[in-house]
Amino acid sequence: MTKGNLFAALRAAFPADLDQVAIETADGGAPLYYTWRDLERGTAMLANLLASLKLPPMSRIAVQVEKSVEALMLYLAVLRAGHVYLPLNTAYQAAEIEYFIGNAEPAVVVCSPRSFGWMSKLAFKRRVRHVFTLDEQRGGTLLERAAQQGDQHQPVRRGSDDLAAILYTSGTTGRSKGAMLSHGNLLSNALVLKDYWGWKPGDVLIHALPIFHVHGLFVASHGALLNGSRMIWFSRFDPRTVAARLPEATVFMGVPTLYVRLLGEPALTREACAPMRLFISGSAPLLLETFTDWQARTGHTILERYGMSETVMLTSNPETPASARRGGTVGLPLPGVSVRVRDDKGLPLANGEIGGVEVKGPNVFKGYWRMPEKTADEFTTDLWFKTGDVGRFDADGYLTIVGRSKDLIISGGYNVYPAEVEGYLNDIPGVDESAVIGVPHADFGEAVVAVIVPKPGASLDERELVAGLKGRIANFKVPKAVFIVPGLPRNAMGKVQKNLLREQHKGLFTA
Ligand code: MLC
Ligand code: AMP
């Protein structure tokens, strides 16, 4: 079953009655209803457009567009046509995009019409032959061209090891790495989750996450598609409108920030949540406080699971019984996925002991795009992937993530690598050095904070520093606070003691 094109497996799960509604938009204004037949025809036309371009097999199709049902169809069409999908966060700025295009060498770029000027310039410079546009209102050249194509298309044959998508994840040092995920990686994980989370006939998913990362693109979309389930589709998360639609849904997936914001919504009541079957959280640690507040307020126990771009989902709390879901833990390894905890020397640790989390299984990616050395660094000699997360198992096999060995901040479910932000800060005239840290934040979980040392004689202004970064890097990486200091604390080896800075600033955003 895990053999072959992922699109074909998703298509096989469409309901027999293709005229049922598959996706309903819910952003205010008149809703749009997309039937399963619309998905079938729309993805065929887009796949035919890609086929008409006569691209080499498994070309990369890089996409930076606002969330829309057509953007989801584009993803499915890329799979259907046998090419490789490369989604890009809409927050990324030109300098960040230039790197991805240079590294991935896509054959096609799809961007929003308002980015076409700069995007086409840098794409053509990198010899990308085709740049299309797509906006949230079904406008742009992509759909104009697809409208001229036939609506029948035979999915291209693909093996389970063939690449389906490349997801860029930042590196602890240096540049982002493209995690290569195969059709088999994605399908095996989707099938396991369908079973493990007990997807049922009649389930309805509220889809309110972005579709350029694992959570919204794979876990949520594949889950609904593979179950032939209707989606209520929000192009952006708004707690008020999402809470208003809960009575019509059965499954919701969110990063912890979404749960925190929903708890601030008076319409989130036990009655509103009565038809709901499952609330799933992941991408960042869910505070125990949010877990228990949610239980008290809605009567539902959030199911927390753990995953990453390189491995899709690794562990999950059980769907049934709800009482087996343990707050503060990420649950048990998924069926077919092996997870172990080892110490720095690679020795296995007993339950209760804290060490590096490693994983093996059909979900684990094929390596980093054109970076064999980096790939080798991230695997043990016996070929387990080192997640960079630190955790412990308890006696019942539940995993708790207690920290990260990678210097990573997760803010509202987005990853920020301090080294990357420090690099941009250090390039600003007058900056001698900088230390970027994550501190607790009531809404985003963690917030990015920068501590900066000016060059002798230079005068720096916090607001100008922030303004200088905006437009150069994605907004979620821009520090929420900046401190200018005469020097950074260092240990005897000369290493910056970020733990002291974290301690000093830990109360900034939690009051
Ligand atoms: C927006 N901002 C953020 C931010 N999102 N800053 C830090 N962290 C974030 N996550 C910026 C905005 O640009 C704005 O800046 C200011 O913060 C306030 O924005 P907002 O209006 O409050 O943000 P909003 O647009 O509502 O977005 C918040 C959010 C969004 C939580 C809805 O960040 C989001 O959708 N997060 C989900 C991310 C996700 O899907 N992760 C899954 C990764 S997959 P300014 O300067 O304009 O004021 C993965 C694997 C796995 O990790 O296990 O799933
Ligand atoms: P990404 O590279 O964007 O896929 O982010 C993956 C990282 O998110 C993991 O390595 C973890 O550090 C973190 N993560 C995902 N889910 C959880 C969770 N439930 N609890 C704690 N951390 C998580």
CB within 6 Å of ligand 1 — which residues?
Answer: 209-210, 213-216, 237, 255, 257, 282-283, 307-308, 411-414, 444, 475-476
Ligand number nearest to the C-alpha of 282: 2
**What number does CATH give the domain 6-236?**
3.40.50.12780
Retrieve residue 380's tokens.
């043990």
Closest-CA residue, ligand 2 atom 20, reads: 285
Residue-wise pLDDT tens digits, 169-184: 976 666 799 999 999 9
- Give the domain ranges of the chain: 6-236, 408-505
> Please, are residues 427 and 409 in contact by the beta-carbon 8 Å criterion?
no
Average pLDDT over residues 24-34: 94
Q: Which of 405 and 284 is assigned the larger pLDDT?
A: 284
Distance 414 CA to ligand 1 centre (A): 7
Looking at residue 170, what is its pLDDT?
A: 78
Give the global pTM: 0.97
Tokens of 462: 């916090």
Ligand 2 pocket test: pick from 215, 287, 389 the residue with the most ligand atoms within 8 Å of its Cβ. 389
Closest Cα to residue 329, out of 391, 387, 386?
A: 391
| CATH, range 408-505 | 3.30.300.30
Ligand 2 surroundings by CB, under 6 angstroms: 169, 213-214, 282-285, 304, 306-309, 330, 387-389, 401, 404, 410, 415
- How many Cα atoms sit within 13 Å of 142 on the Cβ side? 32
Q: What average pLDDT does the segment 189-200 reach?
A: 98
Name, in order, each residue with C-beta under 8 angstroms of 443's C-beta and a sequence gap of 6 or more: 257, 260, 261, 412, 509
How distant, in Å, are the alpha carbons of 37, 45, 54, 70, 107 from that of 40? 5, 9, 22, 12, 24
Distance in angstroms between the alpha carbons of the first and the last residue of the chain: 51
Phi, psi of 166 (to 5 degrees): -125, 125
As a whole number, the mean pLDDT across the chain is: 96
Question: Is the Cβ–Cβ distance between 310 and 365 less than 8 Å?
Answer: yes
Q: How many CB atoms lie within 10 A of CB 194?
A: 15
CB contact set of 477 (below 8 Å; sequence gap of 6+): 414, 416, 420, 421, 448, 469
Centroid of ligand 1 to alpha carbon of 348 (angstroms): 37
13-18 long-range CB contacts below 8 Å, 24 or more apart?
Answer: 13/225, 13/226, 13/227, 13/228, 14/39, 14/40, 14/225, 14/228, 15/228
Q: What band does 406 get if pLDDT is binned at 50, 70 and 90? A: confident
Looking at all shown ligands, the one closest to residue 181's CA atom is 2
